[in-house]
Amino acid sequence: MRKLYRSIFGSNIGQIGSSAIQPGAIQPKFLSTSRTYRLVIGDTVILPCEVQNLGNYVLVWRKGSTLLSAGNIMVTLDTRFRLLGYQLQIREVDAKDAGDYVCQIGDGTPGDQIHTIEILVPPSVTMSPANGHMTARKGGSVTFECKATGNPSPRIEWSKKNGLLPTGEQSVSGSTLTLTSIERKDAGTYQCTASNGVGQAVFATVQLHVLYPPEVSTDRNWIRSDGVEAQLSCIVHADPQAEIHWYQDSFHLEPTDRRTMETRGNTHTLIIRHLQNSDFGNYSCLVENSLGRTKKYIELTGKPGPVTFLGAPFSKWPNSYNVSWRVDSLPPLQEIRLLYRKLQVNETYQQPGKWHDIILTPPATETLNHEMSYNIRDLEPSSVFEVMIQAKNRFGWSELSQLHQFYTRGLNEINSNDIEDMGLLFSLSSSTFILNKNLIYFMCGLI
C-alpha cells in the first residue's frame, strides 16, 4: 500500500500520517466546520473542507477506513464522487452513502474535520397478514400488524375505511391493532398509514370478515291488513348465509297460489294474498346457519293500530277538554271507546277516580289514517284527568291506548282573550257586538 501511495503522491508520501512538524513551518488549520447533512436518496451534496496554510501537506478524504481521495487524486472508483477544489461532491446519494466522512490533513494534525451524512428514506409498509384478509368469529379477537421502514422511523396510525374504529375513535397509533369481542359491525377494511415527513405517506389495508350466527329484526312485530293482502318481513344478517323458514303458529309454510316468499338483499318477505280469517294469527321466521339459529315473531291482524294522542294536555276551559287522537285502520272504523277518570293528586300520591266509559260512532271513511276528537264536558276545574281510547273495525278491537293525562283550567285563570277566542259574535243593524262577558261566563258554566 505504501508503494501505491508513493506512486500517487511521490515524495509527499512521508507527510501523510506523519505527526512531525518541520521546524519553523506554520501549522495547517481548518477554516470550515463539521456538520450533519440529512439527505433524501437521489440528492447531491458537497462536503466542505477549507484549510489554511496547507503548504506541501496532502488533504485526504476517507469514509471510515476507506480512502476516497488524496490531494487532487480520486482513489475511489465510484464515479459519483469527485473533488471540487478541497470539497468532496457526492451525486445521487444512496442509502449506502450514510456515515461519517473525514477530511484529514496528512501531517497527522489532530482535530480531523468530520461530516455526517444521514439518508432520509421515505416510508414503506407491509401488512400482516400478507394476503390482506382476516376471518374471525363473532366474540373472538384479531390482531393486525403493520411493519414500516424508513428514516426517520415512521409513525403508524390505524383507521377504518368508511367509519370509526370499534373503540369509537377515528384513529389510533402503534404498529399493531387488536380487536376484541368482535361484532358484526366490526367487519370492513382497516388501514395502517405510515409517515415520517419524507415523501408521501404510504398505507396498507386488511379486510376483516366476521362470521356470526343469524341476527333477525323486523320493522314491526305486528301487521295490520286490509283483508286483501299482507306482507310480513324479516331483516336477516348472517355469515355464513342463512336459510329462512316461515311458520304460522307451529306449522311450516310452503308457497301456494296465495302465499309467496321473496328475498331482496337482507329482507325476506312472506306475501299472503286474498286473505281469509284463517290467515290471521302469529307468524315466525326461523333463520339458521352453521353457527346458530334464531327466530322472530310477527302477528298478522286486521284490527286497528294503536291510538296516538294529539294536541296539548292543557284545556282552555275549566269544565271541558277537547281530546284528539289518530288511529290507523284500513277497514272502516265501527266504534271508538273512550274512557276517562279524575285523579286526586297531592304531593305524596295519586288516587284515581271512577272510569267514565263512552262509546262513539266514527264517520265512515276509506282511509288508513283516522284523526278524530271529542269534547269531554262537565269536568271539574283545576283538576287532573287521564283518558284511554281503543278502536274497533270488522276484525275486532285494538289494544287500549297508553294513558294520556290532561289538565283543566282554574276558574280564576280565564281572561278576556279566551272569551274573544270563542268567536261568539252577534250581528245587529250592520253593527257587530261582542256578547256580554257575564253572559259568556254563564254559558260556560262559570257563574
pLDDT (tens, 9 = 90+) of the chain, 447 residues, equals 444 444 444 444 334 444 444 555 678 888 999 999 999 989 999 999 999 888 888 899 999 889 999 999 999 999 999 999 999 999 999 989 999 999 998 766 667 899 999 999 999 999 999 999 999 999 999 999 999 999 999 999 999 999 999 999 999 999 999 999 999 999 999 999 999 999 899 999 999 999 999 999 998 776 766 567 889 999 999 999 999 999 999 999 999 999 999 999 999 999 999 888 788 889 999 999 999 999 999 988 888 888 999 999 999 999 999 999 999 887 889 999 999 999 987 766 678 889 999 999 998 887 888 999 999 999 999 999 999 999 999 888 999 999 999 999 998 876 655 554 444 433 333 333 333 444 444 444 444
pTM of the predicted structure, to 2 decimals: 0.58
Q: Which three cell numbers stand for residue 219?
A: 320493522
Is the distance from CB of 362 to CB of 405 less than 8 angstroms?
Answer: no
CA–CA separation, 153 vs 191, rounded Å? 19
pLDDT at 344: 82
- 290 sits in the region (left: phi over 0; alpha: psi -120 to 50; else beta) called alpha
Cell 370499534 identifies what position?
166
Helix (H) or strand (E) segment spanning residue 123: strand 113-128
Closest of 271, 281, 275, 278 to residue 249, by C-alpha: 281
* Single-letter amino acid code for the residue at 286: L
pLDDT at 414: 64
DSSP state of 13: G
Domains of the chain by start residue, with CATH: 2-121 (2.60.40.10), 129-213 (2.60.40.10), 218-301 (2.60.40.10), 308-412 (2.60.40.10), 416-443 (no CATH)
